[in-house]
């Protein structure tokens, strides 16, 4: 029994010793915490002092700058950030694209291709687009620059690169913020008349333009204008667009002239809508009025010799167009079909001077001037079916009518060529993507009287860089 009290006493002594040691450790920890707290408080106080001094310096600096320079109105003293903004907004960082387009053509050797009964001679030539070039050719290359100018305007320049020259095809500015459906364009642009006219060659569904465009606009196969264009999109449930243009009128069927005012004007209306989910359409009517001074063309006299004619007067052209598109469920990616057609009527009225410029001894060796009055027309229709995402096939038929040609006093000297040029074309093309396409085309061309040309064309079209969406 003596051992039990001794054990209890030993346990109590050990407990008191442990308690004493624990209290000592806690005191040491509290001391360390207090030291750390004081250190952090000192650091915080120092930082607050530096912050207060920095704020005082910042407030004092603008005042010192204001004292160092003459006082100016607030609106003339923009902050540095405002001064930098205009330079940033006008930085030139355009969208750049390059269109590579070339071909191999097999056709008969015809030195001077024309459309019988239509002005001008050489109107079936292509101005570097390869229609009349046999063998391999780089027929059309375009370099395109596009960029926003500021929140109110956008600009674009298209340069056509040929073997020995660079031509400015388009260079225009366009409004972005007029509002109320109004759009303004100025500079050099493709006119909005017709349907195909605004499209560039790489957008065509065939390797060449319809005969209609060759007859209407000569070597360019499109009508370009240096002037102003105004469009208005009506706030209606269906698509209704009105357009008007005024310009220099230097391109065929007009001629360039050094005068004040305008040499040509145009007006048009386009209407379109959806028919359910799978179908949509667009139709239009356009009018173009141009003036000519000594517009040149070649004729044949009654003896079969070449004669030159100079036309002075006005040309009025009407164009009606229609386009219908179909795509299952409204998705054209896998399958779609497009039908398009255009019809034109052109009237020339003025004076024609017949002359023998080449000294060939024709009936116009003594120049004669008389009335000139013509009415000509023509049309084309085409359909293109995309049956897979990569493959398309298409057919096109062209026909023109040389129509009425009143030569006045020159009727006894010149031959009136009464003929209806025509051409049938078939094509198939393959596209790896929207940027690369190769095309095979066959055409039976009867645009020259008494002459049939079976033409084969293999064409490639490659687009590099930014590629904007094509119009309807």
Strands 391-406 and 368-386: antiparallel
Chain mean pLDDT for the chain: 84
Q: Are 259 and 293 in contact (CB under 8 A)?
A: no
Confidence bin at 332 (pLDDT 50/70/90): very high
Please tell me the number of Cα atoms within 13 Å of 47 on its side-chain side.
6
Q: pLDDT tens digits for 388-410?
A: 999 999 999 999 999 998 988 88
Q: pLDDT tens digits for 68-100?
A: 444 434 444 344 444 444 444 556 788 999 999
pLDDT at 423: 98
pLDDT at 57: 64
Neighbours of 142 (CB within 10 A): 19
Sign of CA dihedral 241, 323, 422, 251: positive
- Compare 292 and 53 and report the one with higher pLDDT: 292
pLDDT at 78: 44
pLDDT at 142: 94
Q: pLDDT tens digits for 100-151?
A: 999 999 999 987 788 998 876 433 344 444 456 899 998 889 999 999 999 9
Among 219, 271, 227, smallest CA distance to 245 is for 227
- Out of 3-17, 21-35, 160-174, 240-254, the most confident range is 240-254
Percent of the chain with pLDDT over 90: 60
Among 271, 185, 188, 183, smallest CA distance to 231 is for 183
- Compare 196 and 358 and report the one with higher pLDDT: 196
Please tell me the number of Cα atoms within 13 Å of 315 on its side-chain side.
25
pLDDT at 357: 80
Q: What is the mean pLDDT of residues 452-460?
A: 97
Confidence bin at 374 (pLDDT 50/70/90): very high
Q: Which two tokens stand for residue 271?
A: 């209407």
Give the chain's radius of gyration (CA, Å): 39
Q: Are 288 and 197 in contact (CB under 8 A)?
A: no
pLDDT at 131: 54
Q: What angle do CA 24, 26, 32 make, to 5 degrees?
A: 110
Confidence bin at 234 (pLDDT 50/70/90): very high
Q: What is the mean pLDDT of residues 360-380?
A: 91
Confidence bin at 3 (pLDDT 50/70/90): very low
Confidence bin at 454 (pLDDT 50/70/90): very high
pLDDT at 22: 57
Among 177, 142, 163, 216, smallest CA distance to 378 is for 216
- Out of 66-75, 257-266, 278-287, the most confident range is 278-287
Q: Does residue 198 register a pLDDT over 70? A: yes
- Which of the listed CATH numbers 3.40.1710.10, 3.40.50.12780, 2.60.40.420, 2.40.160.10 matches domain 92-465? 2.40.160.10
Q: Does residue 220 register a pLDDT over 60? A: yes
| Phi/psi-derived region of residue 145, left when phi > 0, alpha when psi is between -120 and 50, beta in every other case | beta
Q: Does residue 188 register a pLDDT over 90? A: yes
Three-class SS state of 82 = helix
- Compare 318 and 412 and report the one with higher pLDDT: 318
Q: Does residue 244 register a pLDDT over 70? A: yes
Q: Are 223 and 197 in contact (CB under 8 A)?
A: yes
Confidence bin at 13 (pLDDT 50/70/90): very low
pLDDT at 427: 98
Q: pLDDT tens digits for 289-314?
A: 999 999 988 888 898 888 889 999 99
Among 93, 101, 103, smallest CA distance to 463 is for 101
Instruction: Give the span between the Cα atoms of 150 and 364, in whole angstroms.
Output: 58
Q: Are 202 and 99 in contact (CB under 8 A)?
A: yes
- Which secondary structure element, helix H or strand E, spans residue 54, and what is its range? helix 3-68
Q: pLDDT tens digits for 405-431?
A: 898 888 888 888 889 999 999 999 999
Q: What is the DSSP letter of 411?
A: G
Neighbours of 182 (CB within 10 A): 11
pLDDT at 110: 87
Q: What is the mean pLDDT of residues 173-202?
A: 96
Q: Are 453 and 107 in contact (CB under 8 A)?
A: yes
Instruction: Give the span between the Cα atoms of 94 and 144, in whole angstroms.
Output: 9
Q: Does residue 175 register a pLDDT over 50? A: yes
pLDDT at 459: 97
pLDDT at 398: 97
Percent of the chain with pLDDT over 70: 78
How far does CA 130 lie from the centroid of its chain?
21
């Amino acid at each position: 029994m003596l051992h039990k009290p001794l054990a209890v006493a030993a346990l109590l002594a050990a407990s008191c010793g442990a308690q004493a040691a624990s209290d000592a450790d806690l005191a040491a920890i509290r001391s360390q915490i207090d030291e750390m707290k004081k250190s952090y408080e000192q650091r915080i106080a120092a930082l607050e002092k530096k912050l207060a001094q920095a704020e005082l310096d910042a407030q004092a600096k603008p005042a010192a700058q204001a004292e160092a320079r003459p006082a100016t109105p607030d609106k003339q003293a923009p902050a540095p950030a405002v001064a930098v903004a205009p330079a940033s907004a006008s930085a030139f960082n355009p969208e750049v694209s390059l269109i590579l387009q070339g071909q191999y053509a097999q056709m008969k050797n015809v030195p001077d291709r024309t459309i019988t009964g239509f002005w001008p001679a050489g109107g079936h030539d292509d101005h570097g687009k390869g229609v009349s070039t046999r063998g391999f050719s780089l027929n059309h290359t375009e370099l395109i620059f596009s960029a926003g100018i500021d929140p109110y305007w956008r600009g674009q320049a298209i340069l056509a690169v040929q073997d020995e020259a660079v031509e400015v095809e388009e260079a225009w500015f366009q409004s972005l913020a007029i509002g109320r459906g109004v759009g303004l364009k100025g500079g050099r642009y493709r006119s909005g008349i017709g349907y195909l006219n605004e499209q560039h060659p790489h957008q065509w569904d065939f390797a060449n333009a319809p005969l209609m465009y060759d007859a209407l606009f000569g070597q360019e196969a499109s009508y370009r204008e240096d002037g102003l264009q105004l469009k208005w999109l009506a706030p209606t449930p269906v698509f209704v667009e009105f357009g008007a243009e005024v310009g220099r009128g230097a391109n065929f069927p007009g001629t360039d002239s050094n005068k004040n005012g305008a040499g040509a004007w145009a007006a048009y209306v386009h209407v379109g809508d959806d028919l359910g989910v799978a179908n949509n359409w667009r139709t239009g009517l356009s009018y173009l009025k141009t003036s000519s001074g000594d517009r040149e063309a070649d004729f044949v006299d009654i003896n079969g010799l070449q004669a030159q004619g100079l036309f002075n007067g006005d040309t009025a052209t009407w164009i009606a167009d229609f386009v219908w598109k179909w795509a299952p469920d409204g998705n054209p990616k896998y399958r779609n079909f497009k039908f398009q057609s255009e019809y034109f009527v052109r009237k020339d009225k003025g004076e024609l001077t017949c002359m023998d410029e080449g000294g060939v001894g024709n009936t116009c060796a003594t120049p004669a001037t008389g009335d000139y009055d013509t009415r000509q027309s023509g049309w084309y229709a085409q359909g293109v079916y995309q049956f897979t995402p990569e493959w398309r096939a298409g057919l096109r038929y062209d026909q023109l009518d040389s129509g009425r040609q009143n030569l006045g006093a020159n009727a006894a000297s010149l031959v009136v060529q009464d003929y209806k040029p025509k051409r049938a074309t078939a094509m198939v093309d393959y596209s790896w993507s929207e940027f690369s396409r190769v095309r095979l085309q066959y055409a039976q061309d009867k645009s020259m009287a008494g002459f049939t040309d079976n033409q084969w064309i293999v064409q490639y079209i490659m687009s590099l860089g930014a590629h904007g969406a094509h119009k309807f």
